[in-house]
């Protein structure tokens, strides 16, 4: 972060190289998304956390607000990535609140359990597409498309896509 954003410091001399930067993270309520949110927040960034797990978002917000004056640097948006309307609403909220986005981390994702019946009704999104394809790809495509004007308004826009690796894949 220091190399990319420069070396900024807080009033106590601590390094805040991402101060003034806006970082949007999908799948932010747990795992990699939560860790990335915490690290970027610790470096001074404002975090827009998106996830369907509202309890996890509340816990993330609580952990980040423990820092002095950090409450104004976290926006939690409950987002159902299997529903384009929910993703679109979250994107619209981001557009209303921020003039620029420096980093978009597309981390939300899912995989099927071994016993899942692929193609069954429970494995389809409300839009009729494969559920994993909707969550892992289509929802992020929509999000990037809607946020592109704000991403392009920054000097060095970045979109990171967390790639999921299926632990079991049988192509026979």
- Secondary structure of 67-124 as H, E, C letters: CCCCHHHEEEEECCCCCHHHHHHHHHHHHHHCCCCCEEEECCCCCCCCCCCCCCHHHE
Give, to the nearest 10 degrees, the angle between helix 139-152 and helix 84-97. 10
Residue 68 pLDDT exceeds 60: no
Banded model confidence at residue 67, pLDDT cuts 50, 70, 90 = low
| Percent of the chain whose predicted confidence (pLDDT) is above 90 | 58
Q: Which pLDDT does position 4 carry in this prediction?
A: 52
pLDDT digits (tens, 9 = 90+) for 133-143: 999 999 999 99
> Where does the pLDDT of residue 123 fall: very low under 50, low under 70, confident under 90, or very high at 90 and above?
confident
Q: What is the DSSP letter of 30?
A: S
The pLDDT, as a whole number, for residue 166 is 39
Residue showing tokens 């991403």: 151
On whether the CB atoms of residues 45 and 68 are closer than 8 A, the answer is no
**Cα(161)–Cα(172) distance, integer angstroms:** 28
Chain centroid to CA 117? 28
């Amino acid at each position: 972060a220091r190399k990319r954003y420069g070396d900024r410091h807080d009033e106590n001399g601590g390094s805040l190289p991402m101060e003034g930067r806006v970082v949007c993270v999908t799948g932010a309520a747990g795992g990699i998304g939560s860790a990335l949110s915490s690290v970027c927040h610790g470096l001074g960034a404002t975090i827009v956390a998106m996830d369907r797990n509202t309890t996890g978002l509340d816990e993330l917000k609580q952990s980040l607000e423990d820092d002095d004056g950090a409450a104004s640097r976290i926006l939690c948006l409950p987002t159902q990535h299997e529903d384009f309307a929910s993703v679109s609403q979250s994107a619209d909220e981001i557009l209303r609140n921020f003039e620029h986005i420096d980093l978009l981390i597309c981390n939300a994702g899912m995989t099927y359990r071994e016993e899942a019946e692929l193609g069954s009704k429970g494995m389809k999104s409300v839009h009729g597409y494969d559920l994993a394809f909707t969550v892992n790809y289509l929802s992020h495509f929509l999000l990037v498309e809607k946020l592109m004007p704000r991403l392009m308004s920054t000097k060095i826009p970045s979109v990171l896509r967390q790639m999921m690796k299926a632990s079991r894949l049988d192509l026979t």
